[in-house]
Amino acid sequence: MVEQGLRCRATDPLGHAAATDTPPELGGADTAPTPGTLFRMAVGSCAATTLAMRAAQEGISLDRVEVVVSSESDHRGLLGIDRVQAGPLRLQVRYRLSAPGCRPPGCAPWSTGRSGTPRSPPPPAGSCR
């Protein structure tokens, strides 16, 4: 629901709420994250939760789960210019996990040896609701 100007509040069936707004140059008051930022935050927290749940299922104790979500957009779409699609055109999710004491072969599917996407995908989509 729109609260004031471009500030919006979304509420789930349990009453948890999240607000969004836009910066002044786009007509908002910058009182909350932009919808795109909140979207990336939601994707990142869903991925982190899913990875932690999967690690627990595998008996792996994680002491660090870091997820960075970035997107690429063409702002002409947001402004309705040149028939460009509004919203993210590309989304990238990067993971960094730390599980002390976990060594291959038990953790081989989880480790890339660098920051990036794990070799083994997290559980099927739908685990974040």
Q: Which CATH superfamily is domain 34-106 in?
A: K homology (KH) domain (3.30.300.20)
Q: What is the pLDDT of residues 32-63, one digit of tens each?
A: 999 999 999 999 999 999 999 988 888 888 99
Residue 11, pLDDT > 50, answer yes
Identify the band that residue 118 occupies on the pLDDT scale cut at 50, 70 and 90. very low
pLDDT of residue 97: 86
Q: pLDDT above 90 covers what percent of the chain?
A: 45
Interior/surface letters 42-77, b for 16+ CB within 10 angstroms, e for the rest: ebbebbbebbeebbeeeebebeebebebebebeeeb
Q: What is the pLDDT of residues 65-108, one digit of tens each?
A: 999 999 988 878 877 888 888 878 889 999 888 888 776 666 65
> Which of 5, 38, 40, 42 has the alpha carbon at shortest distance from 19?
38
Q: Bridge partners of 94?
A: 68
Radius of gyration of the chain (CA): 18
Domain range summary for the chain, segments of one domain joined by +: 1-32, 34-106
φ, ψ for residue 30, nearest 5 deg? 55, 45
pLDDT mean across residues, the chain: 82
Tokens representing residue 74 in the block: 């063409």
pLDDT of residue 23: 92
Q: pLDDT above 70 covers what percent of the chain?
A: 79
Identify the band that residue 112 occupies on the pLDDT scale cut at 50, 70 and 90. very low
DSSP sequence for 53-86: HHHHHTT---SEEEEEEEEEE-HHHHTT-TTPPP
